[in-house]
Copies of this chain bind each other. A is one copy, B any other.
Amino acid sequence: MTDVFVHEVGTRDGLQSVPTFVPTELKMRWCSEEFRAGVREIEVCSFVPAKLIPQFADAAEVVRHALTIKGLTVAVLVPNMKGAELALQHGVHKINYVISASESHNVANMRMATARSLAELKSILTANRAESIAVNFTVATAFGCPFEGDQSPDRVFSIVESALSWGVDGVTLADTTGMAHPLQVARMVERFHVGFVGIPLTLHFHNTRGLGIANVFAAYQSGAVLFDAALGGLGGCPFAPGATGNVCTEDVVHMFELMAIETGIDLPALLDLSSKLSALVGHDLPGQVVKAGRRCDLHLLPLEARERLPTADGGGSLQN
């Protein structure tokens, strides 16, 4: 049985900060291979104007391919009504609609006021949509905004409440620029579970300030079981050159595996896939397990040490 579900978002959140266009063929292969490794939901792209994010100019083609992978939930991020319409036309399984808790971040990122974003979400949900299409609602900057700082949890939860009242199927609390800390995460997750019983909650963390995996752990301890992550930790932060992106899929899976928490994912297969990603995007990636090996990948004791090992009769080298 799977205890936690790690969903891939590197194809979207990771790639959107990669300046060179990654060939469509490779994006498609990424989806296929990661599904083969056991990942069951992938946010394959954004439906945004190609002039804003040229990396997703091939969104339709990638989605078409992903939909051929039986058993994969194909999610796409949409920032507005237009994107949602495109996503629905292409028959994705899930649209992930994003609004920032922070007014200024929403304006910078979605190019409209939060009120307008909410109104568009409401329209999408009240329009005739196929029952087979899930709408997930992401609150971006839920743990802090790079322009405004702290975000009031009351505001975050009031936005969530509106979205749920209009019929979203699940909610993601996103730490868009890596501002969350473990105790804050625990408080937010607990409040969510108390306030919205039975609503699927996904946690989306960035490792911008080194706290990504600690936040995953804190969220898990508070009962969260759905996590976004990016293969290799691909991605960056627009405000911090050199800072890392999303938490790294294989490092998160590795942590859960060490703690005997079942992810349903084949870690060696995931590591194999991740090891090719660095060459694909042309730079080193922050993922650690792919460099250091899994905890259980042991090393040979050097020969000269082997000769010093105590023998069964209790002897051993006295060399100092």
Contact = CB atoms under 8 A, between A and B. Distances in A.
Interface of A: 80-82, 103-104, 107-108, 111-116, 144, 146-149, 178-179, 181-184, 207-211, 213-214, 216-218, 237, 239-244, 248, 251, 254-255, 258-259, 284, 287-289, 291-296, 298-302, 305-306, 308-310, 316-320
Contact of A217 (B182, B209, B296): B182
Contacts of A288: 207-210, 243-244
Contacts of A209: 251, 254, 288-289, 292, 294-295
Copies per assembly? 2
Nearest to A244: B288
Given A183-B259, A320-B82, A302 B207 contact: no
B182 A259 contact: yes
B116 A316 contact: yes
A17 B101 CA distance: 44
Contacts of A296: 149
25 contacts: A103-B310, A104-B306, A111-B305, A111-B308, A111-B320, A112-B319, A113-B309, A147-B298, A149-B298, A183-B259, A184-B258, A207-B288, A208-B292, A210-B251, A210-B255, A210-B287, A211-B251, A211-B255, A214-B217, A217-B218, A237-B292, A239-B299, A242-B284, A242-B291, A243-B288
Contacts of A214: 213-214, 216-217, 255
Given A80-B320, A292-B208, A305 B217 contact: no
Of A103, A108, A149, the most chain B CB neighbours within 10 A belong to A108
A249 to B, nearest CB: 11
A308 B112 contact: yes
A292 B240 contact: yes
Nearest to A216: B214
Given A112-B319, A209-B292, 19 more contacts: A104-B309, A107-B317, A112-B316, A112-B318, A113-B308, A113-B316, A114-B310, A116-B318, A146-B299, A147-B298, A147-B299, A147-B301, A178-B292, A182-B255, A210-B287, A210-B289, A211-B251, A213-B213, A243-B288
Contact of A298 (B114, B146, B242, B292): B146
Contact of A108 (B112, B115, B218, B302): B302
Contacts of A116: 316, 318
Nearest to A238: B299
Q: Please provide the 9 A-B residue pairs with the shortest distance between their CB atoms, ordered closest to farther.
A: A113-B316, A240-B292, A210-B288, A108-B305, A243-B292, A181-B258, A210-B251, A242-B291, A214-B214
A261 B237 CA distance: 27
Contact of A111 (B103, B213, B295, B317): B317
A318 B120 CA distance: 11
A175 to B, nearest CB: 10
Contacts of A318: 112, 116
